[in-house]
Structure 1
Amino acid sequence: MKNFSVLILAIVLFASCKDKKSDAVSNELAQADVLLENLKSLTKKGVLFGHQDDLAYGNGWAYEDGNSDVKRVVGDYPAVYGWDLGHIELGDTINLDGVPFSKMKQYALEVYKRGGINTFSWHGTSPYNRKTAWDTTATIKHLLKEPKFMAEYHKDLDKVAEFLISLKDENGNTIPVIYRPLHELTGSWFWWGKKQTSPEDFKKFWCLTLDYLKSKGVTNALYAFSTSEVKTKGEFLERYPGDRYVDIIGVDAYHMSSVDGATFSQGLKKTLAILNEVGKEHNKLMALTEIGSEQIPDPKWWTEVLFPTIEEANLSYVLLWRNGRPDHYYVPYPGQTSAKDFEEFYKNPKVLFQKELTAEKIYQKK
């Protein structure tokens, strides 16, 4: 009976995956919708700068109240703060990068109170075999066909839902966030990747995921659909689940050391042009949902590579990846090769950090 019940729930959720949104859901998402509309308006002023795990750790420090490598260099915090829920599905108290979930909640509230934006990704283990997110077993087809594995996935989503719902301010109001599941979906390095999953199965799975979270009471999330770099509009849209299941479209792109800055910029501009075309046609907010050059060896990377690439891209935000180790970091710290250039990047009026965003009162209806 238990498996039969799970199957019935999956059928009901799949039936609702028809590119529609009920009035009830629209009302419940009012706070998140305010954030979305304000973000759309803000793109006229510039692009928001973000950093993964910014408040948790940096070069030579960890879990020091008020610290931030970004702030150490420019005297200001990022506008967007990325966090990851990987290993929450295992019941762990810390995520896959060592950040305690209790601290993550604390940081999310701190960010919200200063008028910043929280975005969450999820490098979740496979519900099929409990290997890492980087397992390349064709997992989704098993979840869609076999109720016992879908039941495991639902248990994982229960923990995600519980966490997202628990993000509240001091008055008990739920904090709006951006949630970015199943990211880099056009690559093939995760269990939900392109080679592991057919386009139709991926779209079904995306819709089932969002419908399940909503059924569990998650009403404070905007949903970001992010690919890896793509070469055509068709490639980007092949797995697109429909406008009612996406709020933000994005791309993850990394500048590898083997590629010179001009070549990287030229290639990314082509992908951003595709993103722009899709964004305009579907009325979606656009973002570089992950980007970076590991160790930032180019002393002028910020002003001569990154900014010229994003200047005309109509992006809402760019999220630099984390400063996780001495050999693995994506924003400078004091004395780092690109720190002076980062200061110049910060002064650009078209790049917005926390001070500018705080003044915008992003959570208030205009």
Structure 2
Amino acid sequence: MRYLTLLLAFTFSCASAAPRNASTQAAYDYLLGIWGKNIIAGQADLTWRDSTDMAERVHADTGKYPALMGYDFMNYYDATEADGRHQTEEAIAWSRKGGLVSFHWHWRMQNGEFYTKKTPFRLPVNDYRDIDPAIDRIAQELKRLQDANVPVLWRPLHEASGGWFWWGSSREGYIALWRHMHQRLTQQHGLRNLIWVWNGQDPSWYPGDDVVDLAGYDVYENNYSEAYHKTRQHGKPVALTETSHIPDPEQSAANGEWWLWFLVWNDGAGPAGVTSPDNFWTGEYHNTNAHKRKVYNDPRVITLDRLPKL
């Protein structure tokens, strides 16, 4: 009876957060199928510098490509930067190579800023008509991805409970905003290519099983076990949605901490190979080259060459 109860709880927790098209359902089923057995290798793109190819930097150091690339809609709305406005095209190209695609959104609000200390905007929202134009603009890009048959691991409103982003200025406002965005994208815009990844960093900020498919945590300190078990509370598969140091797959497996994927953050300090705290992949400040090669060649780790056609 206890086994049956746990099985039913797991089945409910993994129920669909929104209708999906066939390719997105196939991607979601694949993720559920490998969780607890494999870890997907992921790398964040360098959004604000189009000329830097993070996937190639990974390949140069390991001889393999990541299976997952993470992109950002940061400069698609209320931005003055020239770079970062080809993320949709890059994601489509990556998908056509057989890779998985994740998107987050550093959402600029008033004065073109997203950090709480730099913008006066605060939650809760009294009238969503003031912010819906931004959601609608990003919906256009998500629709382009849908039209290109690209499933998206959609990670909006990330790191909310930390409070450093404006969408983390109120727990109740955050939950309401998440649910509003979910309704607007799936119902009004009819998007069916989204797998909803919650990354609120605090179980009390969870917006509900009906609007979340997967859970994630961003770790830049050495607290992987704490982060994993805290995020696991809601019964969803758990991903390491941003990180500096790549956990050792052997140790993660031994601890029973099966991250669905890891996503190393991007570089910010010049050419490949430069060791700097601002370079999260290249150089050896956060991970030695030997450790990178070890992880990317671990039989438990899914790289692009090991990713099936979904």
State TM-score, norm by structure 2. 0.82
1:178 aligned partner:
153
Residue 348 to residue 161, structure 1, CA distance change in 2 (3 Å) = same
1:338 aligned partner:
288
Please give the per-residue CA displacement for 1:138-193, whole angstroms capped at 9, x wherever unaligned: 6122x2x2x3xx2231000111000111125xxx5431111111100110111111
| C-alpha contact 1:89 1:157 (8 A) present in aligned 2 | no
SS for the counterpart of 2:192 is coil
Which aligned pairs between 1:297-312 and structure 2 lie closer than 5 A? Answer: 306-307=248-249, 310-311=252-253, 312=256
Q: CA deviation at 1:333?
A: 5.1
Please give the per-residue CA displacement for 1:225-280, whole angstroms capped at 9, x wherever unaligned: 1133xxxxxxx33121111100110101103xxxxxxxx2xx3212212223432x
| C-alpha contact 2:36 2:260 (8 A) present in aligned 1 | no
Q: Which moved more, 1:154-163 or 1:237-246?
A: 237-246
Q: CA deviation at 1:43?
A: 2.1
Partners of 2:257 and 2:156 in 1: CA distance: 23
1:134 aligned partner:
115
Out of 224, 227, 231, which is 1:271 matched to? 227
Structure 2 counterpart of 1:83, one-letter code = Y
| C-alpha contact 1:73 1:333 (8 A) present in aligned 2 | no
Higher-Rg structure is 1
Q: CA deviation at 1:135?
A: 2.1
Residue 67 to residue 118, structure 1, CA distance change in 2 (3 Å) = closer
Structure 2 counterpart of 1:352, one-letter code = I
Partners of 1:75 and 1:210 in 2: CA distance: 39
Out of 178, 187, 190, which is 2:162 matched to? 187
Which aligned pairs between 1:247-262 and structure 2 lie closer than 5 A? Answer: 247-255=213-221
Out of 64, 71, 83, which is 2:59 matched to? 71
Q: CA deviation at 1:67?
A: 6.1
Q: CA deviation at 1:201?
A: 2.4
| C-alpha contact 1:115 1:354 (8 A) present in aligned 2 | yes
Let me know the Cα RMSD of the aligned residues: 3.0
Partners of 1:38 and 1:345 in 2: CA distance: 21
Structure 1 counterpart of 2:281, one-letter code = V
Matched, 1:354 2:299: no
Which aligned pairs between 1:1-366 and structure 2 lie closer than 5 A? Answer: 26=19, 28-53=20-45, 62-63=51-52, 68-90=56-78, 94=82, 98-99=83-84, 101-102=85-86, 104-126=87-109, 129-136=110-117, 137=120, 139-141=122-124, 143=125, 145=126, 147=127, 150-167=128-145, 172-193=147-168, 196-197=169-170, 199-214=171-186, 215-228=188-201, 236-255=202-221, 264=222, 267-279=223-235, 284-293=236-245, 306-307=248-249, 310-311=252-253, 312-326=256-270, 327=276, 328-332=278-282, 338-357=288-307, 360-361=308-309, 363=310
Partners of 2:154 and 2:42 in 1: CA distance: 15
Residue 112 to residue 221, structure 1, CA distance change in 2 (3 Å) = same
Q: How many residues align?
A: 286
- The unaligned stretches of length 5 or more in structure 2 are 1-12, 271-275
Q: CA deviation at 1:55?
A: 9.8
| C-alpha contact 2:249 2:298 (8 A) present in aligned 1 | no
Structure 1 counterpart of 2:73, one-letter code = L
Q: CA deviation at 1:315?
A: 1.8
1:8 aligned partner:
none
| C-alpha contact 1:165 1:174 (8 A) present in aligned 2 | no
